Amino acid sequence: MIAACHVNHGDGCSRCPDALVETSFSHATRAADLIAMAEEPADLLVVGAGVTGAGVARDAAMRGIRTALIDKGDFGSGTSGRSSRLIHGGLRYLELGNWHLVLEASRERRTLLRIAPHLVWPRSFIFPVHAGGRVPRWKLAAGLWLYDILALLRNVRSHRMLGKRSLLRTEPALREHGLRGGARYFDAQCNDGRLALGNARDARRHGAQVANYVRVDRFALSDGQVRGVHATDVLSGATLTIRALTVVNATGPWSDGLRAQLGDPPVLRRTKGAHVAVPRERVGNREAITITSPIDGRVMFILPWGDLAYIGTTDTDSDASPDDVWVTAEDVIYLLRSANAYFPDARLGPADVRSTWAGLRSLLATADASDPGRVSREHRVLVGAGGLVSVVGGKLTTYRSMAAETVDLVARRLHALDGRPTPPRALTDREPLPGGEVRDLELLIGELEREGTARQVAERLVRTYGAEAAAVARVARAEPALGRPIAEGHPSVRAELLHATRREMAMTLCDLLIRRTQVFYEADRHGLPEAPALVDLAAEELGWSAQRKAKELADYLAMVDRSLGFRLGIPARAPDVSPP
């Protein structure tokens, strides 16, 4: 829908060239959808708009099922925005004999590279082998052959074993002592939070009603069957009842909590995973590096992210609330010690850490209470008390196939309820996600450059927004104030904030700076010096009062403090982050 400038910037408004005036996913559509949800029952209500719930809503809407999607926070603000950002076959699962999962994940990796080339991109990994390491060279070679075969020989590229010399030519900063060689293999990296957002947007494009910041308080029951929810609009405090013939619980690590309301037993084992981001030049890695931690032999990664490298992850059992998961001093020391063992000259210390994030994995609990790293990453679709459908476990990588399986079950239940025909499976693996209509990112970057956008900005815009980058770039060029960086030294531009409020339903400053633009993780000072000006810009779009602006600033500051709060737990004397 193309509308007139909806924020009254006046005639000839340079902020609103046609492409940006489309208000298809914004505070305005949220308000309209909430009214519609309260008025008319849906066939399906999906609770939780992480990648799983958003994927379920997209799939169901594409099959013509009348669908509503809500989340108590922002899209991807749960686990789906705190992952290791890998779309991977799962080399590690081979050791566990979980070939079926590798086969499925490899197929999904291929699909996501195709339908969202701006959000999922190929990444080459170096796996070094040192004397005495947990994975010897022969085992790595055998594993990588199998890995490529399970990708049906259609991985990005096939792996290659490397001798010590060529490995050091590739990664000169790696520890040479004891190095026996290694391998290069391929997987993919992604912008995890934006993958959830892209699915939610596309769900609405196919007819779903979608609202973030709507919390389910309890289920609405009729004859013992779940027929909707009583919920609260977290932003306004208003309560509402949303009726639906079927309800899917896609709340990741919160799932057991909702199931418990109906008397269902827990099915999850939750483990915490932490990451730290440091300037990449401090580490010295050129490609992604797969390591086995010398502390406990766990597989970990050091991953490039622009001029940063992030190191992760830990895997420890946790009974923390999923609302309150942060990186501790202990996590930081473990991650830095492990990285320092492979890049000894880096001598990374806590002061190098620019940002951190942590999430809870929701793994299927098994009788075997062994090492968390060995617990299966498979998923299950369960029907619980009152007919509540829960989709639990799984991975970011396999969200699309999990969603298809969940919607198959929903379609069967709707058929059983009112005899309607079961729709055919949706082509979620064919239709691109928003912005994914672009085939050649480099070509688009070149076009933006020719139109006057600086190379670094063009690259960022295309790799974030895909085919929609041109619209953002046009706004940035039309009004110099909107062409300025969101945070000094960061390649983002303020026009992105407009795009985020008008097309991506950003509702808070945290949405804008954490999940839409990643300034929180990437910018040297997290955009704090600029935050008052940014909140003014957002206030103009979203109609915030002075009091609301102060709250938004305080909330953002609190998030930055929590992300770097581990510093308070670091002992006064310099902690030992030297290799074990």
Task: Tell me the C-alpha distance between 165 and 181, whole Å.
Answer: 8
Q: Which is nearer to ligand FAD, 83 or 292 (CB)?
A: 83
The residue from 23, 26, 67, 79 that contacts ligand FAD (CB under 6 A) is 79
How far apart are CB 526 and ligand FAD at their closest, in Å? 21
Distance, in Å, from the CA atom of 239 to the CA atom of 231, rounded to the nearest integer, reads 6
Contact code string over 324-343 relative to ligand FAD, x by CB under 6 A? --------------------
Which contiguous run of DSSP H or E holds residue 121?
strand 120-130
Which 528-547 residues touch ligand FAD, going by CB under 6 A?
none
**Residue 77 touching ligand FAD (CB under 6 A):** yes
Nearer to ligand FAD among residue 57 and residue 475 (C-beta) = 57
Burial of 370 (0-12, 13-18, 19+ CB in 10 A): exposed
For residues 214 and 233, the answer to whether their CB atoms sit within 8 Å is: yes
Q: Which of 15, 30, 72, 337 binds ligand FAD (CB under 6 A)?
A: 72
Smallest separation (angstroms) from ligand FAD to the CB of 372: 11
372 belongs to the binding site for ligand FAD (CB under 6 A): no
Please select the residue that binds ligand FAD; options are 80, 290, 453, 464, rule is CB under 6 A: 80
* Matching residue, tokens 């086995």: 292
Q: Give, as ranges, the residues between 277 and 316 that touch ligand FAD (CB under 6 A).
A: 313
Sole residue written with tokens 């797969």: 290
Please name which of 545, 540, 495, 505 lies closest in space to residue 74, comparing C-alpha atoms: 505
HSE-CB for 362 with a 13 A CA cutoff: 26
Contact between 73 and ligand FAD (CB under 6 A)? yes
Q: Where are the alpha helices (DSSP H) in 40-163?
A: 51-62, 91-95, 99-115, 137-150
If one asks whether residue 47 binds ligand FAD (CB under 6 A), the answer comes out as yes
Residue 73 vs 198, nearer CB to ligand FAD: 73
Site for ligand FAD in 233-262 (CB under 6 A): 250-254
Question: H or E stretch including 380?
Answer: strand 379-383
CB of 322 to ligand FAD, least distance (A): 7
Does 51 sit near ligand FAD (CB under 6 A)?
yes
Helices 51-62, 192-205: inter-axial angle, 10-degree rounding: 20
Between residues 225 and 316, which has the closer beta carbon with respect to ligand FAD?
Answer: 316
Binding of residue 86 to ligand FAD (CB under 6 A): yes
Q: Is residue 52 near ligand FAD by the rule CB under 6 A? A: yes
Per-residue binding letters, 373-412, with ligand FAD (x by CB under 6 A): ---------------------xxxx---------------
What is the x/- site pattern for ligand FAD, positions 342-371, by CB under 6 A? -----------------xxx----------
| Residues 197-236 interacting with ligand FAD (rule: CB under 6 A) | 215-216
Cα 320 to Cα 135, 154, 169: the distances in Å are: 32, 40, 44
Residues contacting residue 579 through CB under 8 Å, at least 6 positions apart: 294, 337, 340, 341, 344
C-alpha distance from residue 234 to each of 359, 364, 578 (Å): 22, 30, 45
Binding site for ligand FAD (CB under 6 A): 47-53, 70-73, 77-80, 82-86, 215-216, 250-254, 273, 313, 359-361, 394-397
